[in-house]
A and B are shown apart, each in its own frame.
Chain A
Amino acid sequence: NAGVTQTPKFRILKIGQSMTLQCTQDMNHNYMYWYRQDPGMGLKLIYYSVGAGITDKGEVPNGYNVSRSTTEDFPLRLELAAPSQTSVYFCASSYSRDSVAKNIQYFGAGTRLSVL
């Protein structure tokens, strides 16, 4: 079972460059999330989506964009990379129908991004 797959695993960007972090899940989950994890810190929610065509801002959305054209994919776009965006990025998904299981989130392995 693939679960949540993130690519790439590592990336180094120069200031001002752009890139897209890919996230795909094969569990037919309605909800998907993007988090960033800074060293020694917890997770901060960037954006989330409750279904195809619907996205909402999280705690730290500035400098990022997302889209959700399919149930499976939820890419995260950095348009003008800045050193402050150096972090580890995690994508997660969860199922919505069951009110108990809904918020059990399944995480990808992460993308480690450095902006220099």
Chain B
Amino acid sequence: GDSVTQMEGPVTLSEEAFLTINCTYTATGYPSLFWYVQYPGEGLQLLLKATKADDKGSNKGFEATYRKETTSFHLEKGSVQVSDSAVYFCALSPSRDTPLVFGKGTRLSVIA
């Protein structure tokens, strides 16, 4: 079935460091891909999305490119801040009529 695999955390970085969180997926057809972020004590919120191959989603300095040839959607940020400390979830939408499939999440801690 459809699935999402994320790199395991926790990831600890110093402020202003470069961030990459790997995400690969398995799906039939052409899914849409998402990154959600969960700040401490809160629900998940959409960070960015991409709906077709080679699309780049971006928001708040984060970027991810839909790579069909490598079935990947890696999250990147050039310079992280303490406020980016959160759990990040990669997710896919197999089709318009099925629920999202989430990865296990990657916890990021940024230290000053």
Contact B96 A107 (CB under 8 A): no
Interface pair A107/B43, CB less than 8 Å apart: yes
- What's the tally of chain B residues with a CB closer than 8 Å to chain A? 20
CA distance A109 to B45 in the complex (A): 10
Q: Chain B: interface secondary structure?
A: loop
Q: From residue B48, how far is it (CB to closest CB) to chain A in Å?
A: 11
Whether A42 and B32, one on each chain, are in contact in the complex, defined by CB atoms closer than 8 angstroms, is: no
Docked CA distance A108–B105 (Å):
18
How many Å lie between the Cα of A42 and that of B44 in the bound state?
Answer: 11
Which chain A residues have a beta carbon within 8 Å of chain B's beta carbons?
4, 33, 40-43, 45, 48, 50, 58, 90, 92, 99-100, 102-110
20 residue pairs of the A-B complex, CB under 8 angstroms, read A41-B104, A42-B89, A42-B102, A42-B103, A42-B104, A43-B102, A48-B99, A50-B97, A58-B99, A90-B44, A92-B43, A92-B44, A100-B32, A103-B93, A103-B100, A104-B49, A107-B44, A108-B43, A109-B43, A110-B43
Q: Which 5 A-B pairs have the closest CB atoms?
A: A107-B43, A42-B104, A103-B93, A107-B44, A43-B102
